[in-house]
Amino acid sequence: MLLLPSCYPLQVIILKVLLVYNIYIILMNKDQGYWKENISLIIKCLVIWFVVSYGFGIILVDSLNTIRLGGYKLGFWFSQQGSIYIFVTLIFYYAFKMNEIDQKYGTTKDQQ
Amino acid sequence: MDLQTLTFLIVGATFAIYIGIAFWARARNTNEFYIAGGDIHPVANGMATAADWMSAASFISMAGMIAFLGYGGSVFLMGWTGGYVLLALLLAPYLRKHGSFTVPEFISDRYYSKTARVVAVVCLIIASVTYVIGQMKGIGVAFSRFLEVDYDQGLMVGMTIVFIYAVMGGMKGITYTQIAQYVIMIIAYTIPAIFISFMLTGNPIPQFGLGGTLEDGSYLLDKLDQIITDLGFKEYTTNARLSLFNMFFYTLSLMIGTAGLPHVIMRFFTVPSVKAARSSAGWALVFIAILYTTAPAVAAMARLNLITTIDQPEQEQNLAYKDRPSWFRNWEKTG
C-alpha cells in the first residue's frame, strides 16, 4: 500500500488492472474460442466420416445387409455409394460452418 | 470410316485440344508457373483437381477391379474418396493460409529448418516417382492399345505429349488442360455407363440402375449374386476377400495416402483464399464422386453382361472361344 504513488488512489489502480486483465481474457477467449470451435467442428465431421465408412461400410456391413434399400443391401450401399455422398456433404458442411466461424471471430480479413 | 480411323481422329483431336489450351494459357511468370497466378476459381480448381487425381487407376482399372472383387472393391471407393475429407478438414485450408508455393516451402517455414525442407523434398520425390510409375504403366497400356504399337513405344509417345504441355503451360496451362481433360474423361466414362444401365434396367442413371430391377423384375444385384454363386463364385455383394481387420487398415491407408498426395495438395495453392480452398476440396470430391459412384454400377453391370454373354445354360456348352467378340482377343494381347 505504501509503495503506491499517492496521486493514484487504490481503486483506480485496481480498475486499471482489471481492465487490462479483462481485455487480455477477452482476446485470449476470442482466439481460443476460434480454435475450440474449429476443432470441435473437425471432430464432429470426422466422427461422421468414420461412422459411415468404417462403421457402416466395413464393421457393421453384415448386419446392415439384412436391411434393403430398393435393390441394394444397405451395408453394400454404404460402402459403394452412400459413404461417398456423405463425404461430399461433409466437406461442404465444414466449409460452410468454418465461414460462419471465420465471420464470427473476424478472421476473414487477414487471410486475403 | 472404320473404327481405327475414328479412334485416331477422336484421340488426336483431344490431344490437339490439350496442347492448344496449354499454349493459350501458358505461364508467363513464376507465379503462374507454380500456382497459376493464385486466382483459379474454386469450382474450376475442383474440376482440375479431379482430373489431376483421377488417374489411370480410377479411369482404366477401377471398375474392372470392383467387378472382379465385388464388395471387397469398396476399399478403393471409400479409401480414395474418404481421403478428401481428411484433406479438406486437416490440410488444404492451413496450407493455403500459409501462402507458399510448395509443401517443402511450408515445412521449412513452419519448422524453421532447411533440413526439414530437404527431408520433405526427398519424401515428395519418392511419393511422386512411385505414383508416376503407376501412371506411366497406364499411359503405356492406353497408347499401345490405341496406336497398336508395342508397350514401350506407346509409353514414349504418351510421355512426350504430356511433357510438352506440362513444361510449356506450367501450373496455369495444366489447370486449364485438366479442366478440359475432366470434361472429356467424364463424358467418355458416363456415356457407356448410361447406356448399359438403360439397357439392363431401363434407368439411365447408373447409380439408380445399380439398385434397380432387370427386365424379368428381379433386382440387378440379386440376379448377379445368384448367377455367380451358381457358377461357384462367392456372392458379389458380400464377398469381402479380406478380413475385417485388413479391410479396415487397407481403407485407412488409402485415405491417408490420398490426403497426402503432393500433386493434389499443390492444387490448393492456386485458389485465391482459404475460404476458396475449403469449398474447392468439396468441388473436387463432387467431380470425383460422379465417376466414383458410377464405377460400381459399371462394374456390376459389366460383370453381369459378360457372364450372361459367355455362359449360356440353354445350350450344350458355353460360347466357344472362336465365337467370342473380337475385343476379347485385342485386350488379351495388351494385358
Looking at the domain assignment, is residue A81 inside a domain? Answer: yes
Residue in B with minimal Cα distance to A51: B82
Cβ of B81 and A83 within 8 Å? yes
Please give the mean pLDDT across all residues of chain A.
81
Looking at the domain assignment, is residue A73 inside a domain? Answer: yes
Cβ of A94 and B278 within 8 Å? yes
Cβ of A72 and B221 within 8 Å? yes
CA distance B35 to chain A (A): 16
Question: Domain segments of chain B: what residues?
Answer: 3-306
State the first-to-last Cα distance of chain A, in angstroms, to the nearest integer.
50
* pLDDT at residue number B67: 86
Cβ of A53 and B212 within 8 Å? no
CA distance A66 to chain B (A): 11
If you average pLDDT over residues A2-21, what whole number do you get?
68
**Ramachandran angles phi, psi of B32, nearest 5°:** -70, -35
Q: Is B324 in a helix, a strand, or coil?
A: coil
Q: b/e string for B251-274 if b means 16 or more Cβ within 10 A?
A: bbebbeebbbbbbbbbbbbbbbbb
* pLDDT at residue number B214: 82
* pLDDT at residue number B317: 59
* CA distances, B222 to each of A81, A105, B151, B227, B314 (Å): 17, 53, 39, 9, 21
Cβ of B77 and A85 within 8 Å? no
* pLDDT at residue number A29: 63
User: Which residues, listed in sequence order, are joined to residue B213 by a DSSP beta bridge?
Assistant: B219
The listed range with the strongest mean pLDDT (A29-33, A49-53, A62-66, B128-132) is A49-53
Distance CA A98, CA B86 (A): 15
Residue in A with minimal Cα distance to B99: A111
* pLDDT at residue number A52: 92
Q: Is A72 in a helix, a strand, or coil?
A: strand
Looking at the domain assignment, is residue A16 inside a domain? Answer: no
* pLDDT at residue number B328: 63
Of the residues A54, A88, A89, A90, the best mutation for testing chain B's interface (the one with the most B CB atoms within 10 Å of its CB) is A88
What DSSP string runs through B2-32? Answer: -HHHHHHHHHHHHHHHHHHHHHHT---SHHH
Task: Give me the residue from A73, A80, A90 closest to B296, CB to CB.
Answer: A80
Cβ of B71 and A58 within 8 Å? no
Looking at the domain assignment, is residue A98 inside a domain? Answer: yes
* pLDDT at residue number B319: 62
Amino acid type, B65: M
Looking at the domain assignment, is residue A24 inside a domain? Answer: no
Confirm if B231 and B307 have CB atoms less than 8 A apart.
yes
Q: Which uninterrupted H or E stretch holds A73? A: strand A72-73
- Dihedral (Cα; A5, A10, A11, A14), 10-degree rounding: 80
Looking at the domain assignment, is residue A50 inside a domain? Answer: yes
Residue in B with minimal Cα distance to A55: B248
Confirm if B15 and B83 have CB atoms less than 8 A apart.
no
Residue in B with minimal Cα distance to A61: B238
Cβ of A59 and B293 within 8 Å? no
Q: Which residue has the cell 475450440?
A: A36
Residue A110 predicted with pLDDT over 60: no
Q: Which residues of A touch B207 (CB under 8 A)?
A: 81
Listed residue (B98, B104, B133, B130) closest to B119, CA to CA: B104
**Confidence class of residue A9 from pLDDT cuts 50, 70 and 90?**
low
Total of domains in chain A: 1
Q: What is the Cα B79 distance to its own chain's centre?
A: 13
Q: Which residues of A touch B213 (CB under 8 A)?
A: 71
Listed residue (B297, B284, B251, B294) closest to A88, CA to CA: B284
Listed residue (B167, B169, B138) closest to B154, CA to CA: B138
Looking at the domain assignment, is residue A66 inside a domain? Answer: yes
* pLDDT at residue number A112: 41
Residue pairs between chains A and B whose CB atoms are closer than 8 Å: 127
Task: Give me the residue from A53, A62, A71 closest to B211, CB to CB.
Answer: A71
Q: Does A18 touch chain B (CB under 8 A)?
A: no
CA distance B91 to chain A (A): 12
User: Which residues, listed in sequence order, are joined to residue B219 by a DSSP beta bridge?
Assistant: B213
Confirm if B275 and A110 have CB atoms less than 8 A apart.
no
Distance CA A30, CA B30 (A): 38
Q: Which residues of A touch B275 (CB under 8 A)?
A: 95, 98-99, 102, 108, 111
Q: Which residues of A touch B90 (CB under 8 A)?
A: 42
Q: What is the tens place of the pLDDT at every residue in B272-331? A: 888 888 899 999 999 999 999 999 998 888 888 888 877 665 555 556 666 666 666 666
Cβ of A98 and B85 within 8 Å? no
**Confidence class of residue A111 from pLDDT cuts 50, 70 and 90?**
very low
Cβ of B85 and A45 within 8 Å? yes
* pLDDT at residue number B35: 73
Q: Does A112 touch chain B (CB under 8 A)?
A: yes
- Dihedral (Cα; B171, B176, B178, B183), 10-degree rounding: 170
Q: Does A103 touch chain B (CB under 8 A)?
A: no
Q: Which residues of A touch B237 (CB under 8 A)?
A: 65, 73, 76
List the grid coordinates of B331.
485386350
List the grid coordinates of A33.
474460442
Cβ of B77 and A112 within 8 Å? no
* pLDDT at residue number B96: 83
Task: Give me the residue from B213, B248, B273 closest to A54, CB to CB.
Answer: B248
List the grid coordinates of B108.
521449412
Q: Does A34 touch chain B (CB under 8 A)?
A: no
Looking at the domain assignment, is residue A56 inside a domain? Answer: yes
**Within chain B, which residues score under 50 in pLDDT?**
none
Q: Which residue has the cell 478440359?
A: B180
For A76, the domain range is 35-105
Rg (CA), chain A: 26
Q: b/e string for B70-84 if b means 16 or more Cβ within 10 A?
A: bbbbbbbbbbbbbbb
Distance CA A9, CA B140 (A): 86
Q: What is the tens place of the pLDDT at every residue in A34-53? A: 888 888 899 999 999 999 99
